[in-house]
Structure 1
Amino acid sequence: MYTDADAPLIDALWSTVAAHGWRGVTPGRLAAASGLPAREIVERFPNRLDLLRLHAEAVEQAVAAGTVPNQGGTPRDRLFDVLMRGVDALQPHRAGMLRVMREMRGDPVLALAYAPVLRWSMARMLDAAELDSAGAAGAARATGLIGVWLATLRAWEGDEGQDLGPTMAALDRALDRAEQLARSLGIRPGDLALPADDALPPEAPPAAPPPPMP
């Protein structure tokens, strides 16, 4: 579980990735950048992917800290707010994040290994937006939300502005597409909060034609 004491290690992780790439992350470099003993880092994080999970926990905590219980608003608005706070939490380590994103596109093994962390992170985003992430329905929502998140990050990758306007616009479009493809997310169009196992209402039968004119 991430705590504030882990902040130097997270900073060291992303500064190392920015300078040397994901494959260049070594205990020695992390120790030099963080001031922590290399042995302690290895004992706690024997796999480098564990560091990505730690960062995901840091992002989740940052998002949760800005969440107001019973915040109201539509499910879509809550998701927009939560995901943008997630992007904001990535900003301090932008250089390292962008480099590992580029490397993942050329390294299917790394991308596949990271997938469970990403799915966990999306489930926590749903929780912060007060949407159910439990069970098969929640898993379907989290999987669908991955597409929204990745589309948002693609825009963020080229967004150099302080206000993140292009990123917000991309997130808005991605949520629009998610609503249009609501069946693939297991939810009713226009209502991102509906449980996935709630059947869609049957379509109304076509209206009877008017009687012929006499």
Structure 2
Amino acid sequence: MTHRDPSLYVPLLKALGEAALALSAEKSWADVSLANLCHAAEQSLAACAEARITRFSVAEHLDQQLDRAMLEAAAEIEEEAPSRDRLFDVVMARFDAMQDHRAAWVSILKADADEPAAALARAARRLRTSAWALEAVGISTSSVKATARVVGLARRLRKVEALWLKDDSDLSKTMAGLDQTLRESEDWMARGERLAEFFKSGSLRRTRPKAADEHSPEDPPA
């Protein structure tokens, strides 16, 4: 099995990513081909083929850059703050990074919504984003309970992304939507944990049913 040479792959992907942001700010991401990206980045399709880079690879790279901005911001957040407040700040750092290239990301998100394969890929990326965000604020993602938390946060982040698309002001709507959805998520998880504890404690209180040949004091044997 052959492996990509990072010294060639990383600079190429970075150049194509910069071209993607520039071109998708001018027209729909759906109309931007890999050949267009190569031309704008002054790279060759042959180099992309050799590095096994596709249009989806470029989109993945751009999304990872947003996650990176989010995680870098996490290092500057006060550890003493409540986890929900820290999670809010971490996720908002991602939206701030999107805002730096708003026209491009509006184009990319809208195009992805109309392309089934791209929409599925973005949903999978949002799971990754959610896991990183939770880990960044000290919430483990390794248990079964944590998996539900990751999935729930990913679903809510997609809803906030939809708000961001319509929020062309100072991101006040995005911040309000994120704050509300994190509160709802916190309440939902708390109810789920209480329900789980209820069933757990209830199962411990169950007694073994009487066998058919056991007799109560009121029913002496014949």
Give the TM-score band, short-chain normalised.
0.7 to 0.9
Give the structure 2 partner of residue 103 of structure 1.
Answer: 111
Specify the code of the residue in structure 1 equivalent to 2:100.
Answer: P
The structure with the larger Rg is 2
TM-score (norm 2): 0.72
Give the structure 2 partner of residue 24 of structure 1.
Answer: 31
8 Å Cα contact 1:105/1:111 also seen in 2:
yes
Cα offset for 1:75? 1.1
Give the structure 2 partner of residue 192 of structure 1.
Answer: none
8 Å Cα contact 1:63/1:85 also seen in 2:
yes
Residue by residue over 1:116-139, the C-alpha shift from the partner in whole angstroms, topping out at 9 and shown as x without a partner, is 222112211112222112243333
* Structure 1: gaps (5+ residues): 190-197, 204-214
Greater per-residue helix proportion: 2
Residue-pair matches, total: 193
Distance 1:174 1:26, change over 3 A: same
Q: In the aligned structure 2, how far is the partner of 1:17 from the partner of 1:122?
A: 25
Q: In the aligned structure 2, how far is the partner of 1:45 from the partner of 1:183?
A: 44
Cα offset for 1:103? 2.7
Q: 1:89-128 residue pairs with structure 2 within 5 A?
A: 89-128=97-136
RMSD: 3.1
Give the structure 1 partner of residue 84 of structure 2.
Answer: 76
Cα offset for 1:171? 0.7
Question: Which residue of the other structure, out of 35, 45, 63, is the alignment partner of 1:56?
Answer: 63
8 Å Cα contact 1:156/1:164 also seen in 2:
yes
Q: In the aligned structure 2, how far is the partner of 1:23 from the partner of 1:103?
A: 5
Within the alignment, does 1:176 sit opposite 2:183 as a pair? Answer: yes
* Structure 2: gaps (5+ residues): 1-5, 203-222
Identity score, percent: 26
Cα offset for 1:20? 4.3
Specify the code of the residue in structure 1 equivalent to 2:82.
Answer: T
Specify the code of the residue in structure 2 equivalent to 1:83.
Answer: V
TM-score (norm 1): 0.75
